[in-house]
Structures are given as C-alpha cells and as structure tokens.
Amino acid sequence: MNQKVPRSILRQYNIGTILEIKPISIGLIHKTFSIKTDKDQYIIQRLHPILSSQGTAQDFFNVTRFLNLLNFSSPICIKTKQGKILAENKKEKWRLQTKLPGKTFDRLTNVPMAKEAGRIYGQFHLAIDKAEFKFHSTLVLHESKKVYRHFCDVLKKIKPSPLMNDVRREIEIIKKEFPNYFLPSDLPKHVIHGDPKISNILFSGSKALAVIDLDTCQRQNLLVELGDAFRSWCGKCEDDPHNTFSLSLFRASWDGYKNGSNGLMTKREINLVSKSIGLITLELACRFLSDYFEDCYFGWDDKKYPSRRAHNLARCCGQLAEFQDFKRKIEEINNIIK
C-alpha cells in the first residue's frame, strides 16, 4: 500500500477495506491518488492551499451534486464520517470522490478526440449554465489584467537579479503583446470549468465520457475557458520550444463545441474566440515566467527538469512559441470560426 496518503486521513472515511492505493501523476496543482477498496474505487486528492478553502470545497460538492441530478456524468463527492467535505491532517486538506470509468490523456492527438473534447465541454457548459446556486470561492481565474500587473511588479522587484539575463526576449514579447489581447469587461457571465486541459476529460477510445476536476468552477465569461481549452488542446506540447498550434485539431474541437453548446454563445462572443486563444496563451506564458522568478506555485517534473524554475521557463518558452504560430495562422483560424 502506498503510504503517501496518511492513515489519519483514510480513517476519516467509511469506504471499506483498502486494497490498493496508487499515485496518479497528472495535474500541476494537487497530489492525486486512486484508491481501490472492497466497496468501490475512489480518487483522493491532497489539495493545494490555494484551492483548499471551505468555500471551494462547498462549490465542488454543489457542482458535482447538480450535474449528477441532471444525469451528466460526474464524480460524487464523498463526505467524511463527520459529514465534512474536507478531511484534515495537520496543515493538509484532502478531498475524496468516486472514481469514474475511462482513461485520461496528457495530449490531444487526433481529430476524433478533438471533436469529442469540444462536444463534451459544450454540453458541460450548457448543463452547468442552468445552475442557480451561489459560488462561495473568492478565487477568480483568468484575471488577465491582474496577472499582467503582478508580472510587472515581479519584474520591478527582481530587476537586479541575474535571472533576468536569460529571459529578456520572453519579457519583451509578453510586455509588447499581452495588453493587446485583453477582452472587454462587459461580456456575459456563465459557469465555466476553470481548467479545461485535455487530462480533465475521461475517454473510452476517442469517445469523451466525462469532465473531471471540478473544483475551479465559477462564473466567468466563456471566452477565457475556450481560449484556455483551444490553447492547450491544439498546442503540440506545452514546454516544447517549437510548440505549434494545430488547425486540424482546432477545426474539429470548435465544430464539436458548437454542436455541444447548442447556441449558448452570442455572435459577439464567437467573434472574440480567436482573440481569447491569444490572450490565454500569453497569460499562461506570463504566469509561468512570474513563477520562474518567484519559484513557488506550479508543480514540476523532476524526472525531466532539475528544478521548478527550469520547468517554468520551458513552459513559458513553449507558450510563446505557440502564440507566434497562432499569430501566423490567425486568418485561417478566423475562417474556421466563421
């Protein structure tokens, strides 16, 4: 049995006899494990402090319950024996949910999967848009102007640092391009997932079965969600210095999304889709470069990189490479959208 999940946490749940615990190496934020017992299979996560508040926990419980009531495939949040959503151990907070069937992928690799990814996110947006409950979390994702201001503040603080020497080109691109892609502030609000990477979809073959990792749902404009989705789905590889934007994957995923969302977007929103892709690609580059300096937030692959800082720099360069390819293809992207 893998002892990385403390026994003091496991004892707080009534889930039967534990037969197996395995770490799941996906995600940049939480530490995730699968659990097999004599009753069922579960997913347990040690939550990142930023996403471990009681408000975020309540939002997760409300979203998963709402989707299950609509028969939209979703994990079920399992409460502790004391009826709490979070199990606590010293400074750690953990959350348990049922494990759904299906397989996750780190990258979107073919057109049928792209169309399915778009379809299920369109259906997810259409379903969760009916939710009327209040979101308790105070975390707001994709505040692009705030991300950029923080980046500029970080640069002022570390200006004498030798870390600046290797990233002057990246800083110049972000400062020149990022402000040009900010979206209007008066776009309609919908419920979004908040982290629509491909590994948050469960597949059976090329068929999308469910959307998972529902702890960042909130009310925001749809465009930041779509920009993030298409950025990540259509990119070659996040930390590849020769990252590109795939037109064939975008065409399929956009077609799937339009069909799945069934007219949810206004014409104005549709006309801003391409701008949103540029926006979130630059936002991610900006966030990765900020963490390159601050070295405190994103998880990193210690098998591939010597440090978090090195991985974040590679991610930043990969996003900027994708952005440059996106710009070269913008006319074709707009034709696909229209």
Which residues are CB-neighbours of 91 under 8 A, at least 6 positions away? none
Nearest to 244 by CA among 158, 330, 324: 324
Mean pLDDT over residues 311-324, rounded?
A: 97
Query: For the segment 88-144, what is each residue's pLDDT rounded down to a tens digit?
Result: 988 899 999 999 999 999 899 899 999 999 999 999 999 999 999 999 988 888 999
Q: Residue 296: which CATH number?
A: 3.90.1200.10
Of the two residues 315 and 158, the one the predictor is more confident about is 315
Q: What is the pLDDT of residue 167?
A: 94
DSSP β-bridge partners for residue 191:
219
Q: What is the pLDDT of residue 2?
A: 44
Instruction: Examine the domain organization and report whether 93 and 132 are in the same domain.
Output: no
Instruction: Examine the domain organization and report whether 94 and 130 are in the same domain.
Output: no
Contact 233, 201 (CB under 8 A): no
Contact 48, 29 (CB under 8 A): yes
pTM here is: 0.91
State how many domains the chain has: 2
Mean pLDDT over residues 179-192, rounded?
A: 96
pLDDT at 194 over 50: yes
Containing structural domain, residue 277:
111-337
The reply to whether 246 falls in a domain is: yes
Gyration radius of the chain over CA positions: 20
Mean pLDDT over residues 28-56, rounded?
A: 90
